Amino acid sequence: MDTTTQAPETQVAQTSSVPASGLRIDSKTAIAIINKRITVNPTMIGDSIVLTVQGTGQFLPQGHKYTVAGVERTNQFDRTIYNVRASSSLLMTSAEGKKLFKDAMLAESAGDVEKAHELFNSYLNYVQLSFSVINNGRGTERSFNSGDDIKARITQVVSQAGTTSLQLEDVSYVAPKVVRRQTFSVTDLIEA
């Protein structure tokens, strides 16, 4: 499967780290969301881990323009980006990550609920790990659904600008184990 990983938050058009339920994200909610995610850190580099897909993905067509670290880029392939229920410890502790969270806290302290919500959501998107599946043009590429488990290898990538990030590579679907129903009789339960 052709995959690339860790779509920058600015690349995906206004996705949300929380369901579109009208939930307003405050500091308590943001922390609860972070605590429900797996935190991927540099000690995991080289490890293969199982993660859970969140959402049904966002399709980005070839030619889609986006910005990474202030540099304009163009999507070279049709692809779908999938978020996973995991955060990058490097992004959580980066200067940009800390600034987003601090600005969200300041907005919340000032009583600007809408601004705080937007900033907490931006922070959650910024630190969330993702991967993308490149469209092969035949319609046979793997698609994922919310709740699907994947196996991915954690790698470290250093950008041309010198920024270090953790990424997901060699992503594959993990099929759930089928458990057969067991039947019991009264005798089975009495003698058990």
Residue range 175-185: mean pLDDT, rounded = 89
DSSP string, 27-70: HHHHHHHHHHSEEE-GGGTT-EEEEEEEEEEEEE-TT-EEEETT
1-59: per-residue pLDDT in tens?
Answer: 444 444 343 334 344 555 455 789 999 999 999 999 999 999 999 999 999 999 999 99
Domain boundaries, the chain: 3-191
CA distance 62 to 105: 37
CA distance 175 to 148: 8
CA distance 191 to 187: 6
pLDDT score at 70: 62
138-150: per-residue pLDDT in tens?
Answer: 888 889 999 999 9
Residue range 178-191: mean pLDDT, rounded = 88
118-176: per-residue pLDDT in tens?
Answer: 999 999 999 999 999 999 888 888 899 999 999 999 999 887 777 888 999 999 999 98
User: Which residues share a beta bridge with 105?
Assistant: none
Phi, psi of 21 (to 5 degrees): -105, 5
